[in-house]
Amino acid sequence: MMKNMLRKLISASLCIVLAIAFFVPAQMESIDPLAEKAGQIAETIVSDYGATSVQYALIDHDSIILSGGGGVFDKSENRAITKDDMYGIGSTSKMFAAAAAMVLWDKGRIDLDKPLTTYIPEFTMQDERYKEITPRMLMNHSSGLYGSSFANTFLFDDNDAVMHDTLLSKLSKQRLKAAPGEFSEYCNDGFTLLEILVERVSGMRYTDFLAEHFVAPLGLENTKTPHDDFDKAKRLVKVYAPFYADQLPDETINALGTGGLYSTAEDLCRFARVLMGKRPDILSEQATVLMQNEEYKRGIWVEAESGNYIGEYGLGWDTVHGYPFVDYGLQALAKGGDTQLFHSSLVVIPSLDIAMAVASSGGASIIDYAFAASILQEYLLEKGIIPQIAPQKTFAAPTQAEMPASLEAYSGLYVNATTSAGVEVKGGVLTLTKRNGEPETKWVYAGEQGFLSEDGSTSITFSRQTDGELYLLQSQLIALPGVGQASFNQLIFKMAKPFALEGSVTDGWEVRAGKTYYAVSEKATSQAYFLGIDALRVRLNEDFSHGFAYGGAKIVDDNCAVNTVKFRDVTDLEFFVKDGREYVNANDMVLILED
């Protein structure tokens, strides 16, 4: 989904050069080239990548070295961005939730490896393995939960807490997609559970806990949740959609621990010092070292030679080996956040006590990450920490190599959370044909690199993981001209065995082939209806000859398909008829047939 969104953002760029504003402290006079470079990148993100505005800051020890912004607070007024304008930070909020849990760990109030039911006794699921889930697994994405129970969560100017209040009830009806601890795959519900854990153990509202333990001692005057009392109209940067000219209502994400906070780049930089172990009065260095561990290696994992944008998880962190800092012998950690309208990235280098934060209205978190990585490299060069900036990688069309005949055995059916596909490996070419009507793609065998895309920037290899399953591993270096680059490696499909449906079951499913179902359970203030969010519709496979209805959801009877894969945001499907119309339950959503 992120890659599709990125392509749309780039292709639908606004092509409007907006004013670039800087709020430069006095100490920056000696580093004007850095400020100039940051300003140029900010202007590029606004003019070429669909952002209305971007805000950034860099901290070195306890000093804000760089602070600036591009674009406008509000298109109708064309007011330049200031350092105090607040953005939704999306999943960067998870670092507050992880830090909150570690504060409780510091106090001896929780054990990271005790069952979650120790702290939330009413937490139950349809899969008895839920009793093995621990707080650690919530933070390193290995709980095995399906993913995101986001019904009525992404709202316009509405702080309805229904997602928080009903999550335990929803999970009580769900199963697990993997054994707890087996596989780290991004999981939003884990951090809402972490939010609930913090409340139960501390006896405080989550918003109040953050205020007492982080906001007040750090002086984070511009860090709030939707449940804080503040003037959103004057404080929150305005949001827009590419297809709609007018300003949208303020965005409200009511999964606070998962993605609901508002903040600024400077506030995030100050909070980053807590995460780097530099504020032991708030969080111990021991706790932050635990958060920086290679948690992803506890189970099924993939690793990138030069670091990764996401997937090499710590506790809370998207990656504990951020690209390209591995190549400089430095450990950089990063967390990004994407809502439908706001985006952010926080990159820290604990050994140097340096961090950079970027937030944007429009754009994407991976763009913000590439911005931060580019400026951090410039700053490290300026300080003499690195001798030179490594040149950006370039690619060329692949030269086809002789392919081992044994790879042809990997042809077959592959599935992920939302799609099933046919893979044919023949004559040195891998052809991927999705069963949802999308065009086929071809990849050329290039030797040790595996199968390469037409431009050579992306590779696919076959990866047998510790669960015994065969996966397609995609490795991609995303080039963002004028901004930077980011490395992205992930398992994208799992090989599956087709199976034939019984006669009566086949008859019932044939009428559903290729059909789309749309969410009807969202409230009027939901963003879903206006923005047409992909996650709130289900398009079934074009045919069911292989036995799968939707991605890795395997057909088990006339009206039910059950998930069989470990990927992000999976679902079971339960169909039912009401008043002559067919509906489907997909996790916590109800969707109606398009006909």
Low-confidence ranges of the chain (pLDDT < 70): 1-31, 303-306, 504, 533-535
Q: Tokens for 314, please give them.
A: 């710590």
Neighbours of 5 (CB within 10 A): 16
Q: φ and ψ at 176, to 5 degrees?
A: -105, 150
Give the C-alpha separation, 562 to 478, whole Å: 34
Give the C-alpha separation, 279 to 45, whole Å: 33
pLDDT given for residue 404 in this prediction: 96
Residue of 442, 449, 322 whose CA lies nearest to 395:
449
Helix (H, G, I), strand (E, B) or coil at 594: coil
Q: Where are the beta strands (DSSP E) in 481-515?
A: 484-496
Task: Answer yes or no: are the C-beta atoms of 337 and 89 closer than 8 Å.
Answer: yes
First to last CA, the chain: 26
For 187-205, letters b (16+ CB in 10 Å) and e give bbbbbbbbbbbbbebbebe
Q: Tokens for 123, please give them.
A: 């937490």
* Helix, strand, coil percentages, rounded to 5, for the chain: 30, 25, 45
CA angle 448, 449, 450 (to 5 degrees): 90
Give the C-alpha separation, 258 to 92, whole Å: 8
Residue of 477, 470, 474 whose CA lies nearest to 491:
474
For 467-504, letters b (16+ CB in 10 Å) and e give eeebbbbbbbbbbbeebbbbbbbbbbbbbbeeeebeee
pLDDT given for residue 595 in this prediction: 84
Give the C-alpha separation, 196 to 5, whole Å: 31
For 217-229, letters b (16+ CB in 10 Å) and e give ebebebbbbbbbe
pLDDT given for residue 306 in this prediction: 65
pLDDT digits (tens, 9 = 90+) for 560-569: 999 999 999 9
pLDDT given for residue 504 in this prediction: 66
Residue of 542, 587, 532 whose CA lies nearest to 561:
587
In this prediction, what percent of the chain has a pLDDT beyond 90?
84
Give the C-alpha separation, 250 to 248, whole Å: 6
- Residue 324 preceded by cis peptide, ω within 30: yes
pLDDT given for residue 542 in this prediction: 86
Give the C-alpha separation, 20 to 31, whole Å: 18
Give the C-alpha separation, 95 to 270, whole Å: 13
Contacts of 285-292 with C-beta under 8 Å, sequence gap 24+, read 286/106, 287/102, 287/103, 287/105, 287/106, 288/102, 288/350, 290/102, 290/112, 290/315, 291/98, 291/99, 291/102, 291/139, 291/315, 291/316, 291/317, 292/317, 292/320, 292/331, 292/333, 292/350
Helix (H, G, I), strand (E, B) or coil at 412: strand
Matching residue, tokens 């292709």: 11
pLDDT given for residue 556 in this prediction: 93
Task: Answer yes or no: are the C-beta atoms of 88 and 264 closer than 8 Å.
Answer: no
Neighbours of 128 (CB within 10 A): 10
pLDDT digits (tens, 9 = 90+) for 254-312: 999 999 999 999 999 999 999 999 999 999 999 999 999 999 999 887 766 667 788 89
